[in-house]
Each structure stands twice: as structure tokens, then as C-alpha cells.
Amino acid sequence: MPLNKSETFERTEDLIGELRASGLKVTEQRVLVLGELAGDCTHPTAQELFERIKDRHPGISFATVYNTLNALERARRIAALDVGGPRRFDPNRARHDHAICDRCGSVRDVDPVDASLPDPMLDGFAVERIERVYRGLCSECGTSSEASNTDRRNEDG
Amino acid sequence: MPLNKSETFERTEDLIGELRASGLKVTEQRVLVLGELAGDCTHPTAQELFERIKDRHPGISFATVYNTLNALERARRIAALDVGGPRRFDPNRARHDHAICDRCGSVRDVDPVDASLPDPMLDGFAVERIERVYRGLCSECGTSSEASNTDRRNEDG
DNA sequence: GTTACTGCAAACACTTTGCAGGAGA
DNA sequence: TCTCCTGCAAAGTGTTTGCAGTAAC
């Protein structure tokens, strides 16, 4: 799967501004983490981001990448996706949905059906945001309907 | 949180029929697991179900409960929820949504806004089902807006 | 009789933390 | 200077598996 970096790479000074706006101290490691995630629509895991950053910055530790992602998520600068398997991260703060392949586990952005929130109050529950997840088979797994070598589900039972 | 068992306890013979229909061998342990989950709308974890069953059936092992839940999920008799933290299980096969509290992590069923599936095909992705998740604060956590003792999020960063 | 399931324990995968040193504000 | 961050390593939490014995069909 290609990285699908957007054409609009964020400048370092923008990344720094975003870290500051999130209430985080600006460090080289955090700029690297946010820069690596920004514009990446493949919803990478902490491990994947760590591997990529390590190539250019061998001294960085996994815990730092992990802690930075958690800090950015708490600050709502990025979103975390719990969809089974390791947690994935999403830099896109615009309202959007996700399509997840039951076979290979890939996650894809989907335009929201309607961008408006419904009732902000749901029988006592204060709705802050909505995530819609489409489950099924991605175009690659759907066409080759044999079991794929990247199969995440096992059989037996 | 109370168990919220529905009034309609399923009879053992119904449970057996469901196991057979799911292609599973019928064992006492599996009847216990399915029976414990059926009618429970609190979305328990494997650990929670294991604790409850163990009280009445001390010999059962966690792996058996866990494997049975996975087998039932593969057979689509129950649904698994990946919402952060340990995986939760849902016996309700009717189309419905979930509301998850950002503070205490409780999961509640929500009537679907519209029960109809949108396009079964989404730009090459074959949609099989849709999960909608409302995030926010449940009625208990919303009213007492101080940090709760069951807080799942930590602060710092 | 054959196959699948159980129980146990250990391995595995992922996440989180304690701590000492160091950098940011 | 004071606090927060980093890197390391270890611990914590949740999930999965190998295996020998056993029960379902």
C-alpha cells in the first residue's frame, strides 16, 4: 500500500504552531511524529510511524512516538481509531467516516453521508461526535475472493 | 452497573439450537457462555462473562469462554465491539447503534437513526454492515462533570 | 471412530509506566 | 530554574495458541 502523502506537506513552522496550540512542548521528536502523520491517509499504527521515523532519526524511541500520539489525541489534534488490532491514528480532523476491510484490515476514508450532527442530546447522553464505520470487503479483497495471504481472520470453530 | 438481563431468558433448548445453527458442537460450556450473554445488553467483556460463569461452574476456563465468544462472532451469532480497552460482546443481532462514554467507557444501545443500509457498494468497497458509534458523556458522567473514579482517560501531556 | 472442544499454561501482541538524564520555556 | 520530555527497559493488560485428554457426533 503506498503512503498516499498529500501534496500539501506541512511546513515545520506549521507543525510547531500546532504543537504549541495543543499545549505541548515543542521537541524535534514531536515535530517528526506530527509531520509523519499529517497528510497520511493510511491510518498508520504507532509502530508503523515509529519504523518510518526511525529510518531518518535512529535515536528516537518507540515510547516517545507512542506518548506523542496519545498526547496529540488527548488534545484532539489527531484521532485514534479502535477497530481491532493495534490502534490506528488519523490526522484528518474533518468530519468523515471509515471503511474497514474484514479480510485485510485496511482502513479507508469515506465522505460523510451527511455532515450534520443529529440531536446533540440522546436520552441523557451528550453526543460530542459520531463515528460511522463501514465493514465489508475492500475492492482488492472483494475481487479476489479466495483467502488472501494478509487475512486477519482465521478459520476453525 | 446492573446486569439488565432481559425478561425473556432463553431456554436451554433454544441455546442448543442456536449453537447447532452456528455450526458449533454443543457443549455445556458453550451453552453457559451463550446463555450468559444472551439478553445482556451491557456489552460485557470476555473476562466479565468468565467471572460470572465461574461462580456457578468453577471448572470452566477462560480460554474456553474466550474461544467460544470468538467462534460465535465468526458465525455472526453475536457481534464484537472494538471500542478501546478490552473487546466487548453484543448478543443483539438487530440493527442498532452504540453510545460510548468518553469518561467511564460504558456502552449503551441506541435505536438506529435509519435502519436502511445506504449504497451496498461504495466506490469498490462492498459494504456488508455499518456501525455507528456516538461518543460523548453518558447521563451520569455528564451531570457530575468532575473527574469520575472510573475515569478511563488520564491527564497530562 | 473421528473430529472438535476443554483446560491449562505459556507465548504473544500491544500498551503503559518508572526512572534518570536532558531539553524546552 | 522548573517542568515536561526522552529513551530505555520492564511491567501491565488483553489475546491467542500448543498440547494432551475428553466429549460430541
Q: Which residue has the higher pLDDT, A8 or A128?
A: A128
B131 CB near a chain A CB, below 8 Å?
Answer: yes
The number of C-alpha atoms within 13 Å of A73 and in the hemisphere containing its C-beta is 19
Give the per-residue pLDDT at A2.
Answer: 36
SS3 of residue A92 by DSSP: coil
CA of B16 to C1' of D13 (A): 33
- How many angstroms separate the CA atoms of B72 and B64, rounded? 12
Q: Which residues of A touch B113 (CB under 8 A)?
A: 118
Give the per-residue pLDDT at A149.
Answer: 40
pLDDT interval class at B115 (50, 70, 90)? low
Strands A125-137, B79-81: parallel, antiparallel or unpaired by DSSP?
A: unpaired
Give me A60's grid cell: 528516537
Q: Which residue has the higher pLDDT, A35 or B142?
A: A35
Option in B74, B130, B153 nearest A132 (CB): B130
Do residues B132 and A124 make contact, with C-beta atoms less than 8 angstroms apart? no
Provide the whole-model pTM. Answer: 0.86
